[in-house]
Amino acid sequence: MIYFDNAATTYPKPETVSKSIATANVRYGGNPGRSGHKLSLKTAERVYSVREAAALFFGAEPENVVFTSNCTGALNTVIYGLFERGKTIITSNLEHNSVSRPVYNILKSGDIRWIQVDVHKKNDFEIVESFDKNISSDCCLVVCAHASNVTGQLLPVERIYQICRSKGIPFAIDVAQTAGVFPTKVGVHADILCASGHKGLYGPMGTGLLVLNGDFLPKPLTQGGTGSSSISLEPLKIPPDYYESGTINVPGIIGLGEGLNFVKCNGISNIRNHELGLCKLALNQLRRANVLIYTDDYFKCAPIFLFNFKNISCMDGTKMLSDMGFAVRGGIHCAPSAHKMLGTLPEGAIRFSPSIFNNKSQVLSFCRAIKKISNKVK
């Protein structure tokens, strides 16, 4: 199977990541921060080394790096933890459901106002102007994707962040599709970064990161044992303990640390150029095929593009490609508002997303398969 579904999760993982997870279960079996014995202390030190690596990667202090189970957990923590009754939350209109659903759930109670800024096919100036027009003193949070997981469109988050800072409004970004592919740092691009560990950072599934700049601390979603200040029923409101109640995913975190090292050694710009190059190759090939392409001006996007066969349903096309040995994702991609903008509802479209482990030969084989299918049903 040739895998082009890396926007969902990268596969394969680097060998060092897989080996580190197995090693963690043998060498780091103590519960970090829960005991004073050597095995617990050794595990805590190893976890902290990953926290330091993530802090360096995202321009944060180690104590402001919080390990989560995924990007969704990080985004939910930010949204539920920073919303204020009677105020406004601002997002883009291309958001993943990990943003849209919690905001909608709060909206149902009548406690907030929700503004969705139209960014689809808008240039950077238009996007910044629209955000600026809507961000006011009654806003409690601005949160948006750095890049859409459907269209790949990059938002000018650095400039949106400048507006938010000038008005004292917290700004959080979903970097699930950009961490490890584009530079993303707190204090430069946003106050808070919410990242998947298992996508562009090449860590295992079930890992994520909430990275803070220390200026805004959302309330945690969960409370319980943290290994510190255990005598009090009031949690110690200092990160990362404030957000890491319960036993953390030590093998996953250690695997994520190896993923971060893999990205560092290969270089973010090298990874980005490789993946964008593969997308450009595929697009050039497919523009001569009997398919619909939903990507414009590719180099303003993350390494993702969408297409559909003209005479085959999205899901049938995905299955046919799978039967021919290619893994892509067809459907709504948990982002119905983005597909509404594209006009691809109710079925959605087929998403192509390569990784550092893909090559030109695989892309050309994929394009030949698409042409074969499209010619067969023309």
Confidence at residue 298, expressed as pLDDT on a 0 to 100 scale? 53
pTM value surpassing 0.85: yes
pLDDT tens-digit map of 69-118: 999 999 999 999 999 999 999 999 999 999 999 999 999 988 799 999 99
Which segments in the chain show pLDDT lower than 50? none
Using alpha carbons, list the distances in angstroms from residue 1 to 110, 288, 320, 326, 371: 48, 25, 13, 6, 18
Confidence at residue 337, expressed as pLDDT on a 0 to 100 scale? 95
Domains, the chain: 2-11+267-367 (3.90.1150.10), 15-266 (3.40.640.10)
Candidates 217, 220, 200, 219; CA nearest to 208 is 200
For 72, residues 6+ apart whose C-beta sits below 8 A from its C-beta are 98, 208
Angle at 90 between CA 85 and CA 94, to 5 degrees: 135
Q: Tell me the Ramachandran region of residue 172: left when phi exceeds 0, alpha when psi lies from -120 to 50, beta otherwise.
A: beta
What token pair was written down for 372?
């074969």
For 3, phi then psi, to 5°, come to -100, 120
What token pair was written down for 187?
């204090």
Confidence at residue 109, expressed as pLDDT on a 0 to 100 scale? 86
